[in-house]
Amino acid sequence: MSRKKIVAGNWKMNTSLTEASELVKRVVKEAGNAPVIKIFFPPFTFLKPVADELTSSNDFFMGAQNCSEHEKGAYTGEISASMISSVGGKYVLVGHSERRTYFKESNEQLTQKIQQALKNNLVPVFCFGEQLAERKSDKHFDTVMKQLTVLKNFPKEQVQNFVLAYEPVWAIGTGETATPQQAQEMHAYIRKTLSEMFDASLASGISILYGGSCNAQNAKELFSCADVDGGLIGGASLKAEDFCKIINSF
């Protein structure tokens, strides 16, 4: 089975409404024909306007950067998976390192968020990756293995439809990218771990994206790695020209 190729833009807490719709319009126009799945992860306030721009476009999807672990109720300021789904969302990021670090999201919470996503037909894009100190002390494989244990809370039939994103924290927003060798080595390790946790067919069929200072210059080399199926792009996804180049980097 050939794996899905995916390029996703995580806008984080950036853009105005006008910038959001201009960015999406340009990417749809200039990279619409690329035979890869393209996903925008705008801030919550722009989910619906972004979805509206995508209605007639192929292979473009919208997702949210986070969802609540609760179904609904008195959780002021939170956004539920069903709300995201109701405005046309198809994906949701779970476990981004900024959420783990600044909002102290635990594995238990991440499990609940994934449960909410699945109940509402959102595909979880499960993010993980090691800190600089962990890589320096050669603990990066152990860290990633522990982060992946969240997946054990779900049956194979569900996990096989997830998307995974390996994002080494030391590469996020730093301009320092993992080398293609480092990315390939970790992605191969992730597949080996999934093969042991589930089975070989799940491990070889699931899409694993690389994230962390991926840009228009280095995307081609990263995406040419055997086990890298695309990218989760931060800063470079805010510039239409760069994001289009990345989409066309396979």
Euclidean distance between CA atoms 202 and 183, whole angstroms = 20
For 52, list phi and psi in degrees, rounded to 5.
-60, -35
- 82 alpha carbon, distance to own chain's centre: 19
From the list 163, 222, 232, 246, which residue makes contact with ligand 13P (rule: CB under 6 A)? 232
| Residue whose CB is less far from ligand 13P, 89 or 211 | 211
* Least distance between ligand 13P and beta carbon 233 (Å): 5
* Of the candidate residues 69, 105, 134, 167, the single one contacting ligand 13P (CB under 6 A): 167
Name beta bridge partners: 9: 40, 233
Query: By C-beta, is 69 or 98 nearer to ligand 13P?
Result: 98
Q: Tell me how far, at minimum, the Cβ of 38 lies from ligand 13P, in Å.
A: 15
Strand-pair category, 123-128 with 91-94: parallel
Catalytic residue among 96, 98, 140, 187: 96
What tokens appear for 85 in the block? 């789904």
Mask for 193-222, x = binds ligand 13P (CB under 6 A):
------------------xxxx--------
Give which of 241, 186, 177 is closest to 213, Cα–Cα: 177
- Judged by CB under 6 A, which of 235, 240, 242, 249 binds ligand 13P? 235
Burial of 56 (0-12, 13-18, 19+ CB in 10 A): exposed
At 144, is the secondary structure helix, strand, or coil? helix
- In the complex with ligand 13P, the residue whose CB is nearer, 94 or 202, is 94
172 near ligand 13P, judged by CB under 6 A: yes
Residues binding ligand 13P: number (CB under 6 A): 14
Catalytic residue among 69, 98, 134, 167: 167
Query: Which residue, judged by CB position, is nearest to ligand 13P in the bound state?
Result: 234
DSSP per position, 45-76 = GGHHHHHHHHTT-TTEEEEES---SSSSSS-T
For ligand 13P, give the closer residue by CB, 63 or 235.
235
Residue 96 bears catalytic tag = yes
Of 248, 84, 94, nearest in space to 167 by CA: 94
Find the shortest distance in angstroms from Cβ 239 to ligand 13P: 11
Rounded (10°) angle between helices 47-54 and 17-31? 30
Amino acid present at 181:
Q
Segment contacting ligand 13P by CB under 6 A, of 46-54, 83-91, 139-147, 165-173? 165-173
Reference 43, options 70, 76, 19; nearest CA is 19
Rounded least distance, CB 126 to ligand 13P, Å: 12
Q: In the complex, which residues of this chain contact ligand 13P (CB under 6 A)? A: 10, 96, 167, 172-173, 211-214, 232-236
Q: Which residues are catalytic?
A: 96, 167
